[in-house]
């Protein structure tokens, strides 16, 4: 890998579980690319980021594009690949047969079995979207960030809201 | 350092990719008795059922060997390992020298041990050759019988049905998927298959294949007979351990390996459906012949072959499948025997939703999910890492499991 891969990072403390990212993700993965259009589509477009609520935290979670992608190892259809240049883990929907091996193996539960099309849905980093990942651009509190790990650390350390939150506690 | 891999499926490819991740230059040879470029055996059932186009079984692009600088000896069978000379003998008389060798020869369908099983029209369902033979037989077959009610058997039955063959499944056990899941799960799929026009006969064993040259019917131990011009044996596979003969490699059902996938013979590794590993949930030594384990074992072997120390953290009994659009995931201990287990389940027959969780003490040790399989990997993660789930049991049982729930526990376990 030549440079650090760019990924989507989440700051749990800033997530209010408004689920704007889920909607933006679904719209970004719809054919019409508009909210109204997306709602009317058959099959409904599937969002690939989920705001999960734990007992102590809100976590907007999508594919981690792992360095050791277990979904790739487990895929018996050869549908999952890792881009060595960008680090992105991709699913080739032409090849996916919906065997759900990836759903069974992903330790994050970040591969979504899209029952409507019978194939695995997961974050593709909105690679064809000029503005970058829709979840990130839609987040109202800056809880999501797209960049390298280093860039994320810097971003995280400079969030005024995060400082306020810490002071508040 | 010349790496030689015998086997061209999940474990073999897993090893090759691991070796190339570390070492782009070292000579690497793959030997396979099948002549096809790496394809997925597991996809033959999907092709038969019409889910994917014919010949679309590639596990890796055809350029894989060239791109990864791998010498591929395809269509040649390794017949002997000379560990003293560090050579593999092939069936064409040639010999391949190795410094590190991986046996990833997989398994073969078990013989049924039934008179007449060599008749025409009776097939295993394991490789591409089987698939092509089945295509030929389908053309004239009116009735088909699948013997075996595991994932392979059910997929084979769906495939025959798809091609208009009047299809039945006959099994020795009392319910479908007896090795994969439990009776409740089996019942769901039995009703599903029956409602789709596939007959299921349980608790009966074949005693004879009848017909002159070509199979025409099957006689069963209860005296009944079923017409069948095509028979697919969905019985389990047995490890292909023949290459261990004449070496120090220990075999007990499969090839015995250490936690780095190394056999008793130095520099000889084994991985995949041929290898005996420790199950990380039950701690028993077993052959967990499933795709994800095979790849991971191959990958572990590959790293160790290439000189990067890597310990295998154990296999897991796991299965994922989908039949007639109803998905199934089954992980770990799902039919607990003995004391100390706590079992919870939920069944909604009309919506074909079923789940079951098996606990032992503070640990989740098994799960069956039918109909809704989202986030199953989170459960597998809990089992693999032996995470104490006592504080989140309520959420697990309510189906409210996700990574956010287990994150504090999972990070604590690392």
How does pLDDT run across B259-316, given as a tens digit for each residue? 999 999 999 999 999 999 999 999 999 999 999 999 999 999 999 999 999 999 999 9
Q: Which helix (H) or strand (E) holds A52?
A: strand A50-53
Q: Would an 8 Å CB–CB cutoff place A99 in contact with chain B? A: yes
As a 3-state breakdown, chain A gives helix, strand, coil percent values, each rounded to 5, of 30, 15, 55
Is there a contact between B284 and B278 (Cβ–Cβ < 8 Å)? yes
Taking contacts as CB-CB distances below 8 angstroms, the residues of chain A near B376 are 100, 103-104, 109
Tell me the pLDDT band of B410, cut-offs 50, 70 and 90.
Answer: confident
pLDDT score of A1: 46
pLDDT given at position B413:
66
Q: Is A61 on the interface with B (CB under 8 A)?
A: yes
pLDDT at A162 over 90: no
Q: Which domains does chain B have, with CATH numbers?
A: 3-43+59-108+237-305 (3.50.50.60), 122-233 (3.50.50.60), 333-413 (no CATH)
Cβ-based neighbour number of residue A155 at 10 Å: 16
Whose CA is closest to A38, among A24, A17, A19, A18?
A24
Residue B197 Cα, gap to closest chain A Cα (Å): 22
User: What does the pLDDT read at residue B53?
Assistant: 82
Give B119-168 pLDDT, tens digit per residue: 999 999 999 999 999 999 999 999 999 999 999 999 999 999 999 999 99
Predicted pLDDT of residue B54 = 80
Token representation of residue B197? 């026009």
pLDDT averaged over every residue in chain B: 95
Answer yes or no: is pLDDT of B208 > 90.
Answer: yes
Residues in chain A, overall count: 169
| Predicted pLDDT at A55 | 67
Instruction: Render pLDDT for A12-35 as a digit per residue (tens, 0 to 9).
Output: 999 999 999 999 999 999 999 999
3-class SS letters over chain B: CCEEEECCCHHHHHHHHHHHHHCCCCCEEEEECCCCCCECHHHHHHHHCCCCCCCCCECCCCCHHHHCCCEEEECCCEEEEECCCCEEEECCCCEEECCEEEECCCEEECCCCCCCCCCECEECCCCHHHHHHHHHHHCCCCEEEEECCCHHHHHHHHHHHHCCCEEEEECCCCCCCCCCCCHHHHHHHHHHHHHCCCEEECCCCEEEEECCCECCEEEECCCCEEECCEEEECCCEEECCHHHCCCCCCEECEEECCCCCECCCCCEEECHHHEEEEECCCCCEECCCCHHHHHHHHHHHHHHHCCCCCCCCCECCEEEEEECCEEEEEEECCCCCCCCEEEEEEEECCCCEEEEEEEECCEEEEEEEECCCCCHHHHHHHHHCCCECCCCHHHHHCCCCCHHHHHHHHHHHC
B292 touches A: beta carbon within 8 Å = yes
B196 CB within 8 Å of a chain A CB = no
Contact B403, A109 (CB under 8 A): yes
pLDDT at A53: 81
Mean pLDDT, residues B333-359: 95
Confidence of residue A164 (pLDDT cuts 50, 70, 90): confident
* pLDDT at B382 > cutoff 70: yes
Would an 8 Å CB–CB cutoff place A109 in contact with chain B?
yes
Mutate to test the interface with A, among B272, B313, B404 (most CBs of A within 10 A): B404
**Is the minimum CB–CB distance between B408 and chain A shorter than 8 Å?**
yes
Interface mutation target, options B48, B402, B408, B414, chain A, most CBs of A under 10 Å: B402
Residues of A in contact with B59 (CB under 8 A): 76-78
B322 interfaces chain A, CB cutoff of 8 Å: yes
Whether the per-residue pLDDT at B234 is higher than 90: the answer is: no
Q: How, if at all, do strands B107-109 and B100-103 pair?
A: unpaired
Q: How many CA atoms lie within 13 A of B320 on its CB side?
A: 28
The pLDDT value given to residue A23: 97
* Per-residue pLDDT at B121: 97
Alpha-carbon distance B349 to B352, whole Å? 5
For B247-267, write each residue's pLDDT tens digit. 999 999 999 999 999 999 999
Average pLDDT score over residue span B63-71: 97
Q: What is the pLDDT of residue B58?
A: 94
Letter string b/e over residues B254-287, b meaning 16 or more CB atoms within 10 A of that residue's CB: bbbbeeebbbebeebbbbbbbbbbbbbbbeeeeb
Q: Over the range B308-341, which residues count as b (16 or more CB within 10 Å of their CB) and which as e?
A: eebebebbbbbbbbbbeebbbbbbbbbbbeeeee
The alpha-helical segments, DSSP class H, found in chain A are 20-28, 35-40, 70-74, 101-105, 134-138, 149-157, 160-168
pLDDT tier, B414 (very low <50, low <70, confident <90, very high otherwise): low
Give the per-residue pLDDT at A81.
96
CA–CA dist A24, A47 (Å, integer):
8
d(CA B171, CA B204): 6
Low-confidence winner among B108-112, B348-352, B356-360, B410-414 (lowest mean pLDDT): B410-414
Q: Characterize the bridge pairing of strands A50-53 and A58-61.
A: antiparallel
Nearest residue in A to B319, CA atom: A101
**C-alpha distances in Å from residue B322, one per residue of A119, B329, B337:** 11, 9, 27
Q: Rounded distance, CA B382 to CA B366, Å? A: 10
Chain A residues inside the 8 Å CB shell of B327: 98, 100, 113, 115
The answer to whether B234 and B125 have CB atoms below 8 angstroms apart is yes
Indicate yes or no: CB of A74 within 8 angstroms of CB of B295. yes
């Amino acid at each position: 890998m030549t440079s650090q891969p760019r990924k989507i990072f989440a700051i749990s403390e800033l997530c209010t579980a408004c689920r704007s990212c889920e909607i933006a993700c679904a719209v970004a993965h719809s054919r019409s690319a508009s909210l109204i259009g997306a709602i009317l589509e058959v099959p409904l477009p599937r969002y690939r980021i989920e705001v999960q609520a734990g007992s102590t935290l809100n976590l907007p979670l999508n594919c981690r594009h792992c360095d050791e992608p277990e979904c790739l190892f487990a895929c018996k259809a050869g549908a999952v690949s890792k881009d060595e240049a960008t680090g992105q883990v991709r699913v080739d929907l032409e090849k996916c047969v919906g065997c759900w091996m990836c759903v069974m193996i992903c330790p994050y539960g970040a591969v979504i079995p899209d029952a409507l099309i019978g194939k695995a849905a997961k974050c593709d980093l909105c690679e064809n979207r000029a503005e970058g990942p829709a979840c990130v651009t839609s987040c109202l509190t800056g809880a999501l960030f797209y960049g390298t790990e280093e860039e994320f650390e810097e971003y995280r350390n400079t969030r005024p809201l995060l400082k306020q939150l810490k002071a508040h506690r | 350092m010349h790496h030689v891999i015998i086997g061209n499926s999940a474990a073999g490819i897993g090893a090759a990719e691991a070796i190339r991740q570390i070492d782009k230059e070292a000579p690497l040879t793959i030997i396979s008795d099948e002549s096809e470029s790496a394809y997925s055996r597991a996809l033959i059932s999907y092709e038969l059922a019409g889910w994917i186009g014919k010949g679309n079984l590639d596990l890796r692009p055809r350029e894989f060997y060239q791109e990864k600088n791998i010498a591929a000896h395809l269509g040649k069978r390794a017949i002997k390992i000379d560990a003293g000379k560090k050579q593999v003998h092939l069936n064409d008389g040639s010999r391949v020298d190795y410094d590190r060798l991986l046996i990833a020869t997989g398994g073969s369908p078990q013989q049924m041990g039934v008179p007449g099983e060599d008749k025409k029209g009776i097939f295993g369902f394991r490789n591409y050759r089987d698939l092509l033979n089945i295509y030929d037989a389908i053309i004239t077959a009116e009735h088909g019988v699948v013997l075996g009610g595991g994932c392979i058997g059910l997929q084979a039955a769906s495939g025959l049905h798809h091609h208009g063959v009047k299809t039945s499944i006959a099994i020795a056990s009392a319910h479908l998927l007896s090795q994969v899941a439990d009776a409740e799960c089996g019942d769901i799929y039995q009703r599903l298959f029956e409602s789709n026009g596939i007959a299921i006969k349980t608790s009966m064993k074949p005693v004879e294949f009848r017909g002159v040259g070509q199979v025409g019917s099957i006689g069963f131990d209860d005296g009944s007979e079923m017409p069948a011009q095509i028979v697919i044996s969905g019985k389990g596979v047995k490890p292909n351990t023949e290459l261990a003969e004449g070496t120090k490699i220990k075999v007990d059902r499969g090839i015995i390996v250490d936690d780095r996938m190394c056999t008793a013979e130095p520099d000889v590794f084994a991985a995949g459906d041929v290898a005996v590993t420790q199950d990380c949930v039950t701690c028993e030594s077993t052959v967990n012949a499933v795709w994800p384990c095979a790849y991971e074992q191959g990958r572990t072997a590959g790293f160790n072959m290439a000189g990067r120390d890597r310990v295998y953290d154990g296999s897991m009994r796991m299965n994922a499948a989908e039949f007639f659009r109803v998905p199934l995931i089954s992980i770990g201990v799902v039919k607990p025997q003995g004391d100390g287990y706590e079992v919870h389940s939920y069944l909604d027959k009309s919506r074909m939703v079923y789940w079951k969780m098996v606990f032992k003490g503070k640990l989740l040790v098994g799960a069956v999910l039918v109909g809704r399989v989202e986030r199953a990997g989170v459960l597998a993660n809990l089992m693999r890492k032996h995470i104490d789930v006592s504080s989140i049991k309520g959420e697990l049982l309510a189906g409210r499991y996700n990574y956010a729930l287990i994150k504090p526990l999972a990070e604590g376990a690392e």
